[in-house]
A = this chain, B = another copy of it.
Amino acid sequence: MPSSCSPRAPARRRDATVTRAGILRAARRQFTELGYERAGVRQIAAEAGVTAALINRYFGSKEGLFVEVLSGAFQLAGALPSVRGEFGVALVRYITAHERRPPEDGFDPLLLILRSISSPSALELLRDRLDRRTIHPLARWLGGKDRTTRAGLVVATLMGTAILRKVLRSSAFPPGQVARAMSCLAPLLQGIADHR
């Protein structure tokens, strides 16, 4: 079926939905690479091939654009295994898979959080999303005693290792030895899942 929206679809150069999607894609990449504050609306618009004023037209404000970027992220469905005993290795496998081939565009919610927590307005949005869409679902999946605290510890461990490995690039986690880090991380996560 050729072109469901229009009979002839002459590849129009002025398409609001296409432009909007382009801005959103550039924003996802720059927000994860630079964080909320350092990512400027002018740079984002330039990467999308438009002017900064269009961002305010389509998203109201920079914060509105950020909210739109956040929508749909933070759900960890797909990383959780069907068997409880494979929790640790499943998460580690999920991480290494995303390491080998980075996400389609440069979008990475974990990095976006870590580089945006210095902004008070972004922080409030991030806490809300992370609590509702990640921690509490994970707590339900884990079950048992102190489930929410343990879910928080899982997320904390993932965030902490991400900070040291990908943001700070600490010498404790050299890029060539991800396997060693992951083999230490897996039983740690599994231990949190089992303590119930």
B170 lies within 8 A of A135 (CB): yes
Interface pair A152/B127, CB less than 8 Å apart:
no
Distance to closest chain B CB from A68 (angstroms): 21
Which of A2-10, A32-40, A44-52, A96-104 lies at the binding interface? A32-40
- Whether, in the assembled complex, A150 has its beta carbon less than 8 Å from a beta carbon of chain B, the answer is yes
Interface of A is mostly: helix
Q: Does A69 contact B (CB under 8 A)?
A: no
In angstroms, Cα B171 to Cα A172, docked, is 30
Do B181 and A149 touch across chains, with their CB atoms under 8 A apart? yes
Instruction: Report how far A149 CA is from B38 CA in the complex, Å.
Output: 31
The docked-state distance in angstroms from the alpha carbon of A35 to that of B188 is 30
Which chain B residue lies CB-closest to A168? B127
Q: Mark A168-195, 1 if CB is under 8 A from B, else 0.
A: 1111110001001100110110011001
Per the 8 Å Cβ criterion, residues 122-170 of A in contact with B are 123, 126-127, 130-131, 135-136, 139, 146, 148-153, 155-161, 163-164, 167-170
A123 to chain B, nearest CB (A): 7
List the B residue with the shortest CB-CB distance to A183.
Answer: B146
Besides A38-B118, A126-B168, A152-B173, 5 other CB < 8 A contacts? Answer: A130-B170, A135-B172, A153-B161, A156-B157, A188-B188
Q: CA of A152 to CA of B174 in the docked complex: distance in angstroms? A: 11
A184's partner among B34, B37, B149, B185 (CB-CB below 8 A) is: B149
Say yes or no for A116: interface residue by CB 8 A criterion: yes
Rounded to whole angstroms, the CA-CA distance of A42 and B149 in the bound complex is 40
The proximity string for A residues 87-117 relative to B, scoring 1 for CB distances below 8 Å and 0 otherwise, is: 0000000000000000000000000001111
Contact B149 A159 (CB under 8 A): no
A177–B136 Cα distance when bound, in Å, is 17
> Could you write out 6 A-B pairs with CB less than 8 Å apart?
A117-B163, A123-B168, A130-B168, A152-B170, A153-B157, A156-B161
